[in-house]
Amino acid sequence: MYLEVKDLTVMYDRAVVLNGVCLQVDMGEMVSLVGPNGAGKSTLLSAIVGLVKWEKDTLKGTVAGRITLKGSVRFNGEELIRVPAHDVVKRGLILCPERGRPFREMTVLENLRAGAYLSNDKSLIAETLNKVFNLFPILKSRASQVSGTLSGGERTMLSIGRSLMSQAKLLLIDEPSVGLAPKVKADLFGRIRDVHQLGITILLVEQDVGFAFDLASRNYVLSRGKVIAEGTAKDLLADELIRETYLGL
């Protein structure tokens, strides 16, 4: 297993956001995570990459404050719980957040170069930048454009491109199709497939179940903080309760 999440629980005060979540992604796979709004999908991705912090209460000996996190996240054989988020990035586990979230006042090229801040290898940076431009030609044509003026689909492509500049080994892509027109969405998912074909492992969180199932080899369904089903698209769509109650199909 390349990525293994085991018994992961996240609580905000007394509200349980994730409740004993278990999932795995093998090297080279594309796996999707689907489920209704509020299921905890984005919280799960944030916890995996170290953006949900542990706070130790030395007096009570328990995790304190608003956020409680427990469980295990292992990537490439290494436990990541308690590893700072910037060190998680160094290991090649990268989050592409919902709506891209570029540095809005910087140009497309500056954003991409910012993704390579961990590398001093100029030839590798140039090679990766060329690879990004081949995957996303629109970014090359927009290289000098201020990122805050990009469309939603272009911002998502920029986010993925910036992640590749960080030498991503496993991409966690959060809701890439939010707010996109059908034609733009179809083009974007084609680009994500191209990224996967480069050998990049992907965990895709997506609201459009049809696109997610078309791309992924395996799928997880998350509801109310729990994984309630796992399987291929064929298996999940054959289950009437899962299809109608959790997938909206």
**Which pTM was predicted?**
0.90
Asked whether 191 and 135 are in contact (CB, 8 A), the reply is yes
In angstroms, rounded to a whole number, what is the distance separating the alpha carbons of residues 34 and 36? 7
What's the mean per-residue pLDDT of the chain? 89
pLDDT category of residue 216 using cuts at 50, 70 and 90: very high
Q: Which residue, among 70, 54, 67, has the nearest Cα to 12 in the 3D structure?
A: 67
Q: Which domain holds residue 84?
A: 3-246
In angstroms, rounded to a whole number, what is the distance separating the alpha carbons of residues 89 and 169? 10
Number of domains in the chain: 1
Distance of alpha carbon 85 from its chain centroid, rounded?
A: 14
Confidence check: pLDDT of 49 > 90: yes
231: CB partners within 8 A, 6+ apart: 218, 219
CATH number at residue 7: 3.40.50.300
* % pLDDT > 90, the chain: 70
pLDDT in tens, 151-164: 988 999 999 999 99
Confidence check: pLDDT of 81 > 60: yes
Helices (H), 21-120: 41-48, 85-90, 108-114
